[in-house]
Structures are given as structure tokens and as C-alpha cells.
Amino acid sequence: MRLINRTPSRSGWLALAILPFALLLALYLTSSTQRLELNPNDKLLPSFGQMSATVERLAFTPDKRSGDYLFWQDTASSLKRLGSGLAIAAVAGLCLGVAAGTLPLFGAPLSPLLTVLSMVPPLAILPILFIVFGLGELSKVMLIVIGITPILARDLEQRAREIPRELLIKAQTLGANTWTLILRLVLPQLLPRLLISLRLVLGSAWLFLIAAEAIASTDGLGYRIFLVRRYMAMDVILPYVAWITLLAWAMDFSLRRLTQLLFPWYEGAKA
């Protein structure tokens, strides 16, 4: 049978999905054990025992100096920044995208501007953000907003243009004005797409967040990672990276479930 026609069975599929993760884990465990045998003080590849001790210290015992649970405090401040950045960017991107994609008079000035703006590397203007918005929360949130709004807006503009012309005309024959046409036709059709775009830019949003926290912050997941880098504390860095990955995956998963839940017609319309 040709390779293209061969599909794994249900259990085979699960085994194949787990396989690469298991391999990576095994590779790490063997190399870690080897290095620790040679030098028990090696910091590069800590054992799982060392890492869980560190997590225990950071997450479940109050910090000696401040009395806070550092791990949860880092998580809370990072998620707050990420959440507000994503929310602002989603609203701004949706408004810009709908305006540029639906109304030609708005699209003419907006769409070239968005194209150029989306080419500006957000990290390159991070110093400007720090100067303009100060070193507080605002500049970090703004980096996320500036980084992903043009991407969202351009994607939604494109989707708005893809709405068949027939539907826009039909809505007008049903008595819609421009505003109600956007409200009842364009917006509902773009919302599921917005959730999908958000999933796609989640990676960039985390990148911007960690970059901003690494440079100027007093807490946050990115701050902690870059703080302990100077002690080569891999027993902190690796659990933090794993935690960030888990958070990002959970957000992606819940956005996908939310799309299915809120817009049951969406997948059907695609087919």
C-alpha cells in the first residue's frame, strides 16, 4: 500500500503522538544522569528530583524576603499583561480589520498603513515604548498590542474581503444600512476567525511579553527566567519554560473549544 494511503489506527495514532515526547524525555533523562554521574554539582541538566525541589521552594513556600509565593506571583503578573495585551489587540484588530475590509473609503488609507506597520519589528521599537510609556506595566502591554494588532487587523481585513459580495447585497435588499450590515453580517462572520487568528498570534504574544519582562520588570515569568540565568539555574528555567508551554497550550486549546462552542455553524460553512 502506498504511504499516502496508510493511516494509523486509533491506538496507533495515540502511540505515535506520544512517541516523540517520550523520546525527548528519555534523551534528557539519560544525558542528565550521565552528566550528574560525572559531576554531581553540574547545573546544565538538572535531574527531575532537583527540579521538583526547586518548584516546591518557589511555588509552595513563601519567599523569605517578601513572603510571596514567587511562582504564582510571576504567573499572575505575566498572565495579566498577556491577557490585557491580547484583549486590547483583539478589539483594535477587529475594528481596524472590519473597517478596512468592508468599507472601501476606510480601506484605502488603512490598508497600506497596516501593511507597512506590520513590517516594523516590534522589538526594535521597544526602547521607544519604554521612553514613551515608562518602565511600568503599560509599556509591556503596549509591546504586545503593537506587535500583534497589525497582524490581526490584516488577517481580518482579508477575511472581511472574502465574504461573498452576494451576501452584502442580499443584506442591503433586506433593509440593512452600513452599520447594521456590519453588526449583523460582517461582525458575526469574523468573530470565529478572530479567535483562530488569536490562536496563531499567541506565540508572538508570549515572545513579546517575555522580551519586555526580561528587560525591565520586577516580576513575571520572563523576568524570573532572565534573573536566574546569571546563576545558570537550569532547575528554575526548565520548569518555568515547561509551565509557559503548558499555559500557552491551554490557551490555544480553550480558544479552539470556545470557537466550536460559540460558532457551531463555522466548521459546517467551511466544508
Partner 1 sequence: MSENNAKASVAAQSSQGTTQPGTRAGGNPGSFIQVKNVWQQYGDQVVLERLNLNIAEGEFCTLVGASGCGKSTFLRLLLGQEAPSRGEILLDGQPLADEPDASRGVVFQRYSVFPHLTVLDNVALGLELPRAPLLGRLLGRRKRDAREQAAQMLHKVGLGHALDKYPAQLSGGMQQRLAIAQALVMKPRVLLLDEPFGALDPGIRKDMHELLLELWRETRLTVFMVTHDLSEGFTLGSRILVFDKPRIDPHAPGAYGARVTYDIPLHEGRHAPGASAGLPTALADSFRTAYQGA
Q: Does 261 bind partner 1 (CB under 8 A)?
A: no
Q: Which is nearer to partner 1, 112 or 188 (CB)?
A: 188
Applying CB under 8 A, among 76, 79, 123, 176 the residue interacting with partner 1 is 176
Look up residue 140 and give its three cell numbers: 509591556
Q: Count CB-CB contacts under 10 A for residue 184.
A: 13
The yes or no reply on residue 271 touching partner 1 (CB under 8 A) is yes
- Interface region with partner 1, contact rule CB under 8 A, candidates 132-140, 142-150, 169-177, 219-227: 169-177
Query: Which segment (65-73, 112-120, 129-137, 263-271) binds partner 1 by CB under 8 A?
Result: 263-271
- CA distances in angstroms from 102 to 25, 76, 105, 159, 193, listed in the order given: 49, 38, 9, 10, 15
The answer to whether the CB of 88 falls within 8 A of the CB of 208 is no
Burial environment of residue 117 by CB neighbours within 10 A (0 to 12, 13 to 18, 19 or more): middle
Q: Given candidates 16, 116, 167, 242, which one binds partner 1 under the rule CB under 8 A? A: 167
Q: Which letter, b or e, does each residue of 95-113 get, where b requires 16 or more Cβ atoms within 10 Å of its Cβ?
A: ebbbbbbbeeeebeebbee
Residue 21 near partner 1 by CB under 8 A:
no
Are the beta carbons of 199 and 252 closer than 8 angstroms?
Answer: yes
Q: Where are the beta strands (DSSP E) in 61-168?
A: none
In this structure, what is the dihedral angle of CA atoms 48, 54, 57, 60, given to the nearest 10 degrees?
-50
CB of 224 to partner 1, least distance (A): 43
Q: Is 184 in the site for partner 1 (CB under 8 A)?
A: yes
Question: Looking at 18, 25, 169, 242, which residue binds partner 1 (CB under 8 A)?
Answer: 169
Nearest-CA neighbor of 209 among 152, 150, 119, 139? 139
**Closer of 15 and 167 to partner 1 (Cβ):** 167
Nearer to partner 1, 121 or 268 (CB): 268
Which one of 71-79, 100-108, 149-157, 163-171 is the stretch in contact with partner 1 (CB under 8 A)?
163-171
Query: Contact residues for partner 1 (CB under 8 A)?
Result: 164, 166-167, 169-177, 179-180, 183-185, 188-189, 263-266, 268-269, 271
